[in-house]
Amino acid sequence: MSNIRPITPLDRLARALPKVLFAAYLALFIAYLFMPLIIMSAATFNASKFPTVTPWLGTTLGWFRELWNDAAMWKALWLSLGIGLAVVAFALPVGTAAALFLTSLNARARGIFYAVMVSPLLTPGVAIGIATLILWRQAGVAGGTFLIVMAQATFITAYVMLMVVARLQRFDRTQEEAALGLGASKWMIFRRVLLPFLKPALIAAGFIAFLQSFENYNTTLFVRGTDTPLTVYIATKVRTGLTPAVNALALILIALTLVTALVLELNRRRKER
Amino acid sequence: MNEMIKRFGPGLGGFFLILVAVWIIGMVLAPNLMMLNFSLKPMLFPNDIGGPKDVYTVDNYTALFGDRVHRAIFLKTIWGSALVMVATLAITYPLAFWMAKVASMRGARAMLTILIIPFWINEVLRTLAWFIILSFNGPLNAFLLSTGLIDQPVRWQGDFGVLAGMVYAYILFMLFPIYNSISTLETAQLEAAKNLGASTWRIHWRIVIPHAKAGIATGCVFTFMLAAGSYVAPALLGSPGSRWFTEIIYNWFFEGGNWNRGAAYALVLLVLCMAVVMVTLKIFRVNLADVAK
Amino acid sequence: MSHSVELIDVEQAFGDVKAVHHFSAHIAGGEFFSILGPSGCGKTTLLRLIAGFTEPTKGRVLIGDKDMAGIPADRRPTAMIFQSLALFPLMPVWENIAFGLEARGVPKAQRRKRAEELLELIALPGYGDRMVHELSGGQRQRVAIARALAVQPQVLLLDEPLSALDLKLRQHMRAELRALQKRTGVTFIYITHDQSEALAMSDRVAVMSAGVLQQIATPQELYANPATPFTARFVGETNAIVGTVRGIEGGLATLTTAEGRFTGRAGPGLTDGARATIFIRPEAMALSRIALPNSLNAITTSLEYEGASAMLCARSEHGQELLAAVPNRQLAEAPGQGEQIWLSFAPEEALILAEEGQPA
């Protein structure tokens, strides 16, 4: 045992090095993710006319007031909310129907339809917008709110479909037979057995669908006509006259997302217990 | 079809079938076919439609590859997107592995919650944040000047800004699929490999990466596709000299006024993305159903 | 009296595969009727056919003398209990039980009242507002039965409902099911692969193999007089020795086998010179130290104590495995392992049946 030498501080360092490096990486990663959001939020309170944190020209809440008084912002916000609700109203039933349709097919047909149904998710958003725009122009419909809903729903329906399919895979079909054997009509089976089972997936899918619609920009840009939903409003502001009022909007949206994410997470944890 | 009617009855089953048909035919297939048809026609004045000039042609496609500037931008978009893909993969892989296999349950859960937050935030806003950071008089230049690393403010906006913004915007599309697939790997396999004397590199190369290939493929496909089809980041973080392919498409529609050519360009982008999806899936031997989870 | 079920020459094919061949049976109203067979023998198909989930490819199903052709599952006077139970996990117990009543448009107050009555019947009073996942396996079982009984079916169809339970509970539930059937007078058609279950509960049992009906008989009859070699092997333990028939006389037949000549009762349709098997139940085997008529020489390989008796396993010099039940009181004189013994039986306690596919 004479070849064992005492552990030197250098050895300790060598042994700890990977851990230290990894901790640094982790810290950098989190900083990378959050620093931009923090800086953007902080700039809201800077009196500077251009949103920045350097130099700090004094703390103000004035940009919130300006945002509040911005009629165009309010119009864009209401429009986005309306579009989001319309997309959810369309995508939920259609996505559910598609999921049910898919599970009723044999393996081969399922593969084909699955590829077709998933394809909007693998298509660039701009292409979806353009295709929708061109199709509807033949029918004499120009870009605007209706086309925004149609174009967004094209791929958001696919998200809903996937989420419902995932839930359906855990459904025991004998429940339907049991209900049928007890004399239930097809409608009653759907309403009392299948729909309650799908409910959690539908709530989650509706939520995701709304968020996807609310934050969509690429597809919307091509079909919007002269209508301006919130994302387009923000992007336009950046190019035509950015003030920290936009940061105030960003801050509010971030805060809302944080609260929602927190509520959902707590809800999930409570359910797990 | 019959199965739907049998399961839900003619009323409800028929209604479902109609909804599916509206979506697949009216919103997925018809628009794309119409776009294809449109891209194969020259731009015409309304009274020429149906006339002798209304013929099929591939001019709109040859125009793209004939135009030196457009061709260069197209190629730049491809390799730029590939760069974004590789960069996000390199940045996220260690974290994904750590969360899936090294961190405690609570640590991983907490990390997941933290990471999801920026994911929820609008892509336009995330890009706006980088717009502020990278602006000429912005915090990044101020910071670098104060440390003395640079003595003149740097113009970050341009190609660098676009790529940085994209990596930031799509990083979680890479992280989550990889994390999900690594977490299904049995920890015992890693211990066995270590026990047999495999080095860290070998363990990753021979065990973790092969196991996580579906997740890696998914992440790559999504980041590439999102980057190639991105419009926000190039529009906000680019400079006049750093145009992205989507911006050219946009110009054909809303500034150049040639929708036919724009449609052809959009189709080229679509085909590019589909091709990348197919090739990646082939290389990683993954099927579509695994990607869409 | 509840409805009878009549199956007339029923056949069910899935593509090229015939799951049920020419099945005919008359099940009397109020009878506890079991269909017994190994998994994949077509018994579940038969049950689904009676329930109306599938229509037979050929043949007719009559319930209460009414032809069921074209009548879907929701309009037949049957109720089914599934192997997985298929309780509705998102409804409380009482809504599960009252589901069939809801389907028939019964007002809520009445549904609730009926559910409470049924909960009394299955000895789970006060469980109405629990959720299904809060119940034990046996309790779920009973809820599934109550749910089926709530619609007052004429015929209750049970598809191996006890298979998920542990042995103790299964035995308890057998008795409970039997009692429930007597109390309600509903016709029960019970599917199982567990012969002891079928023997314990049923008025009559139908044995099925590979889609073909082997025999319909009372449990005692089935055990004492199996009609086919399959039934003889499937129901209960038995010793089976293959040979050729050499002479039939006065109901007794003689069989020559590799183990020697044996005499036993001649089964139906047995002919001289046919290939046949002699079946002897282990409890019919007597042990002795000397050769007797109708006896086999063997060496004991093990003695397994089973509580009420012990099962002695032995092997003849030709490799024939043999079983003999040793009653407890004879255990003291039982031979030890490796000992040479003789196993003998009375001709009346052995049955000789023609093997299938042989000229009968």
**DSSP per-residue string spanning C85-118:** ----TTSBHHHHHTHHHHHTT--HHHHHHHHHHH
Distance of CA C155 to the CA centre of its chain: 18
Structure tokens that stand for C59 in this block: 């043949």
Give the other-Cβ count within 10 Å of B253's Cβ: 23
Q: Which residues of B touch A176 (CB under 8 A)?
A: 7
pLDDT of C231 above 80:
yes
Residue C119 pLDDT class (50, 70, 90 cuts):
very high
Does C35 contact A at CB distance below 8 Å? no
Residues 166..205 of A with a Cβ closer than 8 Å to B: which? 166, 176, 185-187, 190
Phi-psi sector, A218: left (phi>0), alpha (psi -120 to 50), beta: alpha
Dist CA B37 CA B168 (whole Å): 37
CATH of domain C237-354: 2.40.50.140
pLDDT per residue over B215-229, tens digit each?
Answer: 899 899 889 999 999
Higher model confidence: residue B116 or residue C325?
C325
Quickly count: other Cβ atoms within 10 Å of residue A259's Cβ: 10
- Calculate mean pLDDT across residues B115-120: 78
Identity of the residue in A32, A94, A247 whose CB atom sits nearest the CB atom of B23: A94
Residues of A in contact with C115 (CB under 8 A): none
pLDDT at C142 over 60: yes
Residues C6 and C61 sit within 8 Å (Cβ to Cβ): yes
What does the pLDDT look like over C160-196, one tens digit per residue?
Answer: 888 878 888 888 888 888 988 998 899 999 999 988 8
Nearest residue of C to residue A174, measured between CA atoms:
C86
pLDDT at C60: 92
Mean pLDDT score, C311-319: 87
Judging contacts by C-beta atoms under 8 Å, the chain C residues touching residue A184 are 74, 99-100, 102-103
Q: Is C108 on the interface with A (CB under 8 A)?
A: no
Q: Return the H-helix or E-strand segment holding B233.
A: helix B232-237
Cβ distance A165 to A103 under 8 Å? yes
β-pairing verdict for C260-266 and C350-354: parallel
Q: Give the pLDDT confidence of A24-76 residue by residue, as tens digits.
A: 988 998 888 888 888 888 888 888 877 877 778 878 887 888 888 888 899 99
Tokens of C58: 């050929």
pLDDT of residue C358: 41
Q: Are β-strands C78-81 and C66-67 bridged in parallel, bridged antiparallel, or unpaired?
A: unpaired
Q: Are C12 and C18 within 8 A, CB to CB?
A: yes
Task: Give the pLDDT score at C360.
Answer: 33
Confidence of residue B155 (pLDDT cuts 50, 70, 90): confident
- Integer Cα distance of C239 and C232 in angstroms: 9
Q: How far A227 CA sits from the closest chain B CA (Å)? A: 14
DSSP C220-287: HHHHHS-SSHHHHHHSS--EEEEEEEEEEETTEEEEEETTEEEEEEEPTT--TT-EEEEEE-GGG-EE
**What per-residue confidence (pLDDT) applies to B24?**
96
Residues of B in contact with A35 (CB under 8 A): 133
Residue A55: cis peptide before it, omega within 30 degrees of 0: yes
pLDDT of residue A193: 93
Give me C1's structure tokens.
Answer: 């009296």
**What distance in Å separates the CA atoms of residue C155 and residue C188, rounded to the nearest whole number?**
6
Cβ contacts of residue B171 below 8 Å, gap of 6+?
A: A33, B88, B91, B92
Structural domain boundaries in chain C = 5-226, 237-354
CB atoms within 10 A of CB B208: 23
Q: Does B72 have pLDDT greater than 80?
A: yes
Rounded average pLDDT over B18-27? 96
Q: A69-241, superfamily in CATH?
A: MetI-like (1.10.3720.10)
Angle at the Cα of A204 (from A201 to A208), degrees rounded to 5? 130
CA-to-CA dists, residue C201 to A212, C33, C42, C181, C182, angstroms: 60, 9, 21, 10, 11
Amino acid at A55: P
CB contact under 8 A, A39 and B133: yes
For chain B, which residues make up each domain, given as ranges? 68-291
Measured between CA atoms, the residue of chain C closest to residue A182 is: C100
Residues B68-291, CATH architecture:
Orthogonal Bundle (1.10)
Chain B: closest CA distance from residue A193 (Å)? 12
pLDDT score for A187: 92
Residue C359 has pLDDT above 70, yes or no: no
Instruction: Indicate whether C344 pLDDT > 60.
Output: yes
- Chains C, B in contact, 3 or more Cβ pairs below 8 Å: no
Q: What is the mean pLDDT of residues C35-44?
A: 89
Q: Which chains touch C (3 or more CB pairs under 8 A)?
A: A
Q: How many CA atoms lie within 13 A of A77 on its CB side?
A: 12
Residue B48 has pLDDT above 80, yes or no: no
- Is A219's Cβ below 8 Å from some Cβ in B? no
In chain A, what residues touch B137 (CB-CB under 8 Å)? 50, 52, 54
- CATH architecture of residue range(s) C5-226: 3-Layer(aba) Sandwich (3.40)
Q: What pLDDT does B19 receive?
A: 96
Region C248-255 average pLDDT:
86
Dihedral angle computed from the Cα positions of residues B54, B60, B62 and B63, in that order, rounded to the nearest 10 degrees = 120
**CA-closest candidate to residue A244, choices B122, B131, B158:** B131
Residue C353 identity: L
Amino acid letter at B221?
Answer: V
- Given pLDDT bands bounded at 50, 70 and 90, which one contains residue B205? confident
Q: Which of residues 151-210 of A touch C (CB under 8 A)?
A: 172, 174-175, 177-185, 188, 192-193, 196-197
Which is nearest to C298 in space by CA: C282, C310, C315, C284?
Answer: C315
> Phi-psi bin for C307: left (phi > 0), alpha (psi -120 to 50), beta?
left
The ipTM assigned to this model is 0.86
Please say if the pLDDT value at position C268 is more than 70: yes
Q: Grade residue B287 by pLDDT with cuts at 50, 70 and 90.
A: confident
* Nearest alpha-carbon partner for B122 in A121, A239, A253: A253
Q: How far apart are the first and last CA of chain B?
A: 25
pLDDT at A272: 67
Place of tokens 């090294």: B102
Dihedral sign for Cα C163, C169, C171, C176, please. negative
Residues of chain A with pLDDT under 50: 1
The answer to whether residue C115 scores a pLDDT higher than 90 is yes
Please report which confidence band the pLDDT of residue B18 belongs to, taking 50, 70 and 90 as the band edges.
very high
**Cβ–Cβ < 8 Å for C3, C33:** no
In 3-state terms, what secondary structure has residue A163? Answer: helix
Per-residue CA distances from B153 to B65, B138, B146, B150 (Å): 37, 9, 11, 7
Q: What does the alpha-carbon distance between residue A200 and residue C87 come to, in Å, rounded to a whole number?
A: 19
What ranges do the domains of chain A cover?
A: 26-60+243-273, 69-241
C15 contacts chain A (CB < 8 A): no
- State the residue for tokens 């490799």: C319
Q: Give the count of beta carbons closer than 10 Å to the beta carbon of residue C272.
A: 12
Query: CA triplet A221, B155, A55: central angle to 5 degrees?
Result: 95
What local confidence, expressed as pLDDT, does residue B76 receive?
92
Q: Is the pLDDT of residue C289 over 90?
A: no
Task: Indicate the average pLDDT of chain C.
Answer: 88
- As given in the structure block, the two tokens for residue C115 are 């559910």
Q: Both tokens of residue B84? A: 């974004």
Pick the residue from chain B with its C-alpha nearest to A104: B3
- Rounded to 5 degrees, what are φ and ψ at B232? -60, -55
Query: What are the tens digits of pLDDT across the range A86-110?
Result: 999 999 999 999 999 998 888 888 9
pTM of the model: 0.81
Q: How far apart are CA A217 and CA A231, in angstroms?
A: 6
Q: Residue C204 forms beta bridges with which residues? A: C33
* CA distance to partner chain C, nearest, from residue A179 (Å): 7
Task: Report how far residue A260's alpha carbon sits from residue C223's, in angstroms, rounded to the nearest whole number.
Answer: 68
Contacts of residue C215, defined as CB under 8 A and 6 or more positions apart, other chains included, come to C206, C207, C222, C226, C227, C228, C231
The H or E element that residue B267 is part of is helix B259-284
Q: Which residues of C touch A182 (CB under 8 A)?
A: 74, 79, 99-100, 103, 147-148, 150-151
Q: Touch between chain A and chain C (3+ CB pairs, < 8 Å)?
A: yes
